Amino acid sequence: MPQAAGKSRISDNPHQTIVAECVRLTRQGLSIQFPEFKGMEFKFEEPPSPNFGDLSTILCFQISKATGISPREVAQKIASSIEVDEDSVVKSIEVAGPGYLNFRLDCKKASELTLSSIMTLKSEYGFPKVARPEKVLVEHSSVNPVHPVHIGQARNTALGDATARLLKARGHEVEVHFYVNDAGRQSAIVAYGYSKLGQPKPTTKPDLYLGQIYSVTSCLVEIQALKNRLNETDEILAQERKDLQEKLDEWITVAWELQSRYPDLFSELQREISQDSDLEAQVNRLLNEYEAQVAPTRSLIRKTSELCIEGFKQTFSRLGVHFAVWDWESDLLWSGRVSNVLERLRKTSYVTEQNGVLRLESEKAVQKLDIRQLLGIGEDYILPSVALTRSDGTTLYLTRDIAYSLVKFERCSSVVNVVGMEQAHEQLHVRVALAVLGLKDLAEKQRHFTFGLVKFPGEKMSSRRGRVVTLDDVISEAVKRANLEIEKRTHDLDTEQKERMAETIGIGAVKYALLAVEPSREVDFSWDRVLNLEASSAPFINYGYTRAKGILRKLGAVAEHPDYGKLDHPLEKRLILKLARFPSVFVDAADRLRPDDLAGYANQVTEQFHEYYEHVDVTHLKDSDLKNARGALIEAVQTVIRNCMAVLGIELSERM
């Protein structure tokens, strides 16, 4: 825990320590002038200009409303009753404007507290721990094992990995899971196509190869189903016939695209699949046989899924992303857990049967169990009923997800599901089901980390139609572009070193672009922004980091106990206070699951550092004390940037 300001030169959260001292002094004044308010809560913020001090509070306006005394008079009374001792990090307190209390810090003490803490804690700086750690299970990515990870799904991976890192750095015990959705129709489609080809060994990256099979097979199945629907009866309404024909025309266009892209694969699949008269029935047969554990089908679908996962692991490894556990949807089915949870739900008054389909009456449960606040939904939000089974009795994804939630809580006390915004309703239904089962506490401890889509310029992605921009392709393009910049700027490295540097910079740039935008908003992926060396990008931040390293190389070793009183330039003070805030920014980001706040903070530190470097001499100094003090500041900047990016899962290149 932070120590009182002035009592120790080390704090795991200098900003919190400084604010705590400001609060202590303010309460001192309150206890004398307004004792009835000495226990009230109030905040300190950085004023809009350094001219107004370093920290400011509007508490006097709050007291004014309650007492009728003008805010300025309240501020004057409080300020006049505060005695600042010589050990305090606060230098003076001023009354400003209509009633602001502005605090000015002792530059030397604030600098010493912040920079000594950073220099001592090094890689541990910025990561205060929770008082009561939990065992948290983070599930993320969970891409269907039928095609490569595309750039849209990559945001799930970047956010999920960063979230797990934040929670771990906060002191929680974190276990990262990937949920393999292998019991759905998509898995049956790719397995059907793969079996028709004779289950060949992939000659390319396995998830890429299976993705091609999936797109072609899905297209051929769709075309036959639409043709059968159009030909099965003359009683189709004119509008329905028109709609079906438009869909068929669209899929025929897709078929031409796929045939031009994968001519050999398309021809072979078309030849083999044409031998079956009802493709839809073949896919459904595989789906039902897999759920029933029919041996050949079980082996087939597991094989295709494992091949795809092999490709996923190659991609994730390149990103530095790893999973502790791979949970299989089919294992849930085969273990009886899904049928068990379905039976338990069926016995409640919140499940009804309509035409052979079991439905969860979620809105009824929300009202009767009084869980709107728990779910975070308003009074006017209506949650409709939802199917738990098909008419043939087989279960749906939602039912399996409910059972999966119970499995998760056997391993942990808290769950974070990193799942796209399009599944917000389903995630609510899962939590409703937990409450229906009498497990409100689990429903409350399961969080849905929602995020927006990724828009890639000129691309409308669809895995079924084979129109995707794979994450592998984006990474390769980023590395290629980074390498071109490196070739222009760096001439003293060999080819291997340049390639390694390009890999680090390119991957970091892609990750940062996916993390830096508020999770609930969409990401407009633009190469100009992703690799921008001037602002708001990983390369920009990396350049600040390497610039700091370069300065330190020129300065040489920094003295162990610099004279921090030398750091009196306004830009130095501003930069030091920004570094002091890192632990507070981290705590807030980790507790609210907002990695974008840390991404933005790293960018702000870099901007301030570049401004400082442009206006303040740090390398051509005759005053050795000043040189050492500024060297300590540069080293602190480098440490904070590295720590901030590392907790986001972004590696920095040591050269640019």
* 3-class SS shares of the chain: helix, strand, coil, % to 5: 60, 10, 30
Rg (CA), the chain: 30
**Is a pLDDT exceeding 90 seen at residue 48?**
no
How does residue 159 score in pLDDT terms, banded at 50, 70 and 90? Answer: very high
Q: Are residues 383 and 363 in contact, defined by beta-carbon separation less than 8 angstroms?
A: yes
Top pLDDT among 22 and 50 is at: 22
Q: What is the mean pLDDT of residues 251-256?
A: 94
Q: Name the residue among 637, 642, 497 with its Cα closest to residue 580.
A: 637
Q: Are residues 218 and 464 in contact, defined by beta-carbon separation less than 8 angstroms?
A: yes
Residue 29 CB contacts under 8 Å (≥ 6 apart), including other chains: 77, 78, 79, 80, 81, 82
**Is a pLDDT exceeding 90 seen at residue 5?**
no
Q: Are residues 648 and 598 in contact, defined by beta-carbon separation less than 8 angstroms?
A: yes
Q: What is the mean pLDDT of residues 123-150?
A: 96
Tens of pLDDT along 326-363?
Answer: 999 999 999 999 999 999 999 999 999 999 999 999 99
Tell me if residue 326 falls in helix, strand or coil: strand
Outline where 411-494 has alpha helix (H).
424-436, 440-445, 471-489
Query: What CA–CA distance (Å, rounded) separates 468 from 458?
Result: 11
Q: 354 burial class (0-12, 13-18, 19+ CB within 10 angstroms)?
A: exposed
Give 358's strand partners.
353
Predicted pLDDT of residue 491 = 80
H or E, element range at 346: helix 337-346
Tens of pLDDT along 72-108?
Answer: 999 999 999 999 999 999 999 999 999 999 999 999 9
Where are the extended beta strands (E) located within 135-225? Answer: 135-139, 173-180
**Is a pLDDT exceeding 80 seen at residue 460?**
no
Query: C-alpha distances in angstroms, 164 versus 93, 399, 431?
Result: 42, 26, 21
* Structure-token match 């106990």, residue found: 561
DSSP class of residue 437 equals: T
Please give the structure tokens belonging to residue 37: 């308010």
Predicted pLDDT of residue 169 = 98
Q: What is the mean pLDDT of residues 446-459?
A: 85
Predicted pLDDT of residue 549 = 95
Q: What is the mean pLDDT of residues 640-645?
A: 98
Q: What is the mean pLDDT of residues 293-301?
A: 97
pTM of the shown model: 0.92
Please give the structure tokens belonging to residue 519: 């999770």
* Structure-token match 């002792």, residue found: 106
Predicted pLDDT of residue 561 = 86
Q: What percent of the chain has pLDDT over 90?
A: 83
Predicted pLDDT of residue 240 = 84
Query: What CA–CA distance (Å, rounded) separates 594 from 450?
Result: 11
Predicted pLDDT of residue 526 = 87
Query: What CA–CA distance (Å, rounded) separates 61 from 57?
Result: 9
Q: Name the residue among 300, 290, 359 with its Cα closest to residue 329.
A: 290
Query: What CA–CA distance (Å, rounded) separates 646 from 656?
Result: 17
How does residue 2 score in pLDDT terms, banded at 50, 70 and 90? Answer: very low
Q: What percent of the chain has pLDDT over 70?
A: 97
Tens of pLDDT along 213-251?
Answer: 999 999 999 999 999 888 876 667 788 888 899 999 999
Tens of pLDDT along 565-587?
Answer: 999 999 999 999 999 999 999 99
DSSP class of residue 5 equals: B
Cβ-based neighbour number of residue 204 at 10 Å:
10
Tens of pLDDT along 478-511?
Answer: 999 999 989 888 888 888 999 999 999 999 999 9
Q: What is the mean pLDDT of residues 251-268?
A: 95
Tell me if residue 487 falls in helix, strand or coil: helix
Predicted pLDDT of residue 51 = 84
Q: What is the mean pLDDT of residues 542-568?
A: 91
**Is a pLDDT exceeding 90 seen at residue 414?**
yes
Q: Name the residue among 3, 11, 15 with its Cα closest to residue 117.
A: 11
Top pLDDT among 350 and 534 is at: 350
Where are the extended beta strands (E) located within 211-324? Answer: none
Top pLDDT among 595 and 533 is at: 595
User: For all residues of the chain together, what is the average pLDDT?
Assistant: 93
Give 326's strand partners.
178
Predicted pLDDT of residue 8 = 45
Q: Are residues 579 and 640 in contact, defined by beta-carbon separation less than 8 angstroms?
A: yes
Please give the structure tokens belonging to residue 64: 């004014």
Q: Are residues 190 and 217 in contact, defined by beta-carbon separation less than 8 angstroms?
A: yes
